[in-house]
Amino acid sequence: MGVVCKKRKIVSSISSPEHFDPTTGACSIELYLANKEPFRVAPTSRIPVPQPYDSEKCSEKACNVEEDLHDSIVEVANSFGITCQSMSIVKLWERGLPNTAKDTLVISTSDTNTTRWEEAANYIYNMLEKAASSAGIKMEVEIQNPNEMYNDVSVPIRDDDICRVLDIIKPALMAEVDKNCGTSWTSIAYHCRKRRFPENREDPGQPAIIIFVNPGSMAPWGQVEERTADIIDSEVEARRAHDDGVKKAMIKVDVKDMQRNVAEPEIGEQKDARKLSILDRLFVENTKLSGDSTKTSKLHCFTASRLRDSVLHNLTAWPRGLISAPRVADLWRP
């Protein structure tokens, strides 16, 4: 079996203890995910608005600042080797957190060489900051390649062999997550992940174990992913030694921020999307209602995840080998 995790060493330019502890190497989940995404870059000491995010029209003052500096910004981007395909100024905020909305200049490019993106973002941010301060507002900057940046969606796991493997590793996985994440983790999900492009419609995706943690959680997340992957590998190989019916499988391990990375259905599955949206709201609300009891919180979050999976099973014929479909009354009982 192969268990993989996307590795990227955290060399943080962010000195704030809110996001990085240079003594222990621990970082916030937000910084870790931002470092795993090379095709969305913000200025030094800033993090791009996490996905999924919402947007609306920017303020009139921000629009005026962009109009005044538009040509200069394009010239600066070119001087750093960045071809500016489009540029827009919008108000962005992390979904569910409208109070964090900020006017953001988004520069889109098809370039894949990101070597000087942060340097360019810093330069453009300094230009904007002076003009924005004069206008009495604050503005952010982001450089992105829309075709290359992270944009995955979840689809059901339909492979019975994968389901059996996931069922086998579940006890060891739970123990390892408890050990490495303590009270930070909220739920564990099993999805197939793939790129959100129409041409990938028939792609079954890559099986993935997604460990959701609370926003702001601090840990050496790269090591957490690697240790979890190693434990899963060992567990499956040990079982295969006594049961040749257990197939090899390539499964990805990811740690993600619960609030921003709820399961997103594939494009076009409108009925699924509606039901998932409703269940994700219940999931978050139930977490808030769980109180201070870690045990109760974990129970509620995990059963909410199971409820979401059960709905996917009913809608898309997910094999029952992984997760059964218990009654809703049983799932939500305190």
| Structure confidence at residue 272 (pLDDT) | 40
What is the percent of the chain where pLDDT is above 90?
44
Residue 289 lies in a domain: yes
* Mean of all residue pLDDT scores within the chain: 76
Show which of 94, 109, 144 is a domain's final residue: 144
- Is the model more confident about 13 or about 328? 13
Same domain, 130 and 97: yes
Q: Quick one: pLDDT band at residue 14, thresholds 50, 70, 90?
A: very low
pLDDT at residue 62 is higher than 60: yes
Is 20 within the bounds of a domain? no
Between 236 and 278, whose confidence is greater?
A: 236
Decide if 178 is inside a domain. Answer: yes
Give the pLDDT of residue 52: 80
Same domain, 131 and 163: no
Give the pLDDT of residue 317.
Answer: 29
Using pLDDT thresholds of 50, 70 and 90, give the confidence band for residue 312.
very low
Residues 175 and 311 in one domain: yes
Residue 324 resides in a domain: yes
**Residue 156 preceded by cis peptide, ω within 30:** no
pLDDT for 263 equals 43
pLDDT of residue 245: 65
Do 98 and 215 have their domain in common? Answer: no
Predicted confidence (pLDDT) at residue 316 exceeds the cutoff of 60: no
pLDDT given at position 247 = 67
| Structural domain total, the chain | 2
One domain, residues 162 and 309:
yes
Radius of gyration of the chain (CA): 22
The sign of the CA dihedral 74, 80, 81, 87 is negative
Q: Has residue 216 been placed in a domain?
A: yes
In terms of DSSP bridges, do strands 40-41 and 139-144 run parallel, antiparallel, or are they unpaired?
antiparallel
Does residue 268 lie in a domain region?
yes
Q: Answer whether residue 1 is part of any domain.
A: no
Length of the chain (residues): 334
Answer whether 41's CB lies under 8 Å from 118's CB.
yes
- Helices (DSSP H) in the chain: which residue ranges? 29-35, 60-79, 117-135, 160-181, 221-240, 270-289, 294-316, 328-331
Q: Does 239 lie in the same domain as 279?
A: yes
What confidence score (pLDDT) does residue 51 get?
Answer: 80
| Amino acid symbol at 324 | S
Residues 303, 264, single domain; the answer is yes
Residue 240 sits in which domain range? 152-331
pLDDT at 26 over 50: yes
| Residue where one domain finishes, among candidates 118, 144, 170 | 144
Whether residue 160 sits in one domain with residue 132: no
What average pLDDT score do residues 72-86 get?
97
Whether residues 158 and 244 share a domain: the answer is: yes
Same-domain status, 63 and 174: no
Average pLDDT over residues 18-40: 88
- DSSP per position, 28-84: EHHHHHHHT-TTEE--TT--PPPSSEEEEEPPHHHHHHHHHHHHHHHHHHHHTT---
160-181 vs 221-240: helix crossing angle, rounded to 10: 130
Residue 144 has pLDDT above 70, yes or no: yes
- Domain presence at residue 242: yes
Strand 102-108 to 139-144 pairing: parallel
Beta-carbon contacts of 181 under 8 Å, excluding residues fewer than 6 positions away, are 211, 213, 217, 219, 224, 255
User: Exposure of 59 by Cβ count < 10 A (0-12 exposed, 13-18 middle, 19+ buried)?
Assistant: middle
* One domain, residues 83 and 161: no
Among residues 99, 120, 144, the one where a domain terminates is: 144
pLDDT tens column, 97-139 = 899 999 999 999 999 999 999 999 999 999 999 999 999 999 9
**Are both 197 and 284 inside the same structural domain?**
yes
Give the tens place of pLDDT for each residue, 261-305.
Answer: 444 444 333 334 333 333 333 333 333 333 333 332 333 333 333
Tell me, what's the pLDDT at 155?
87
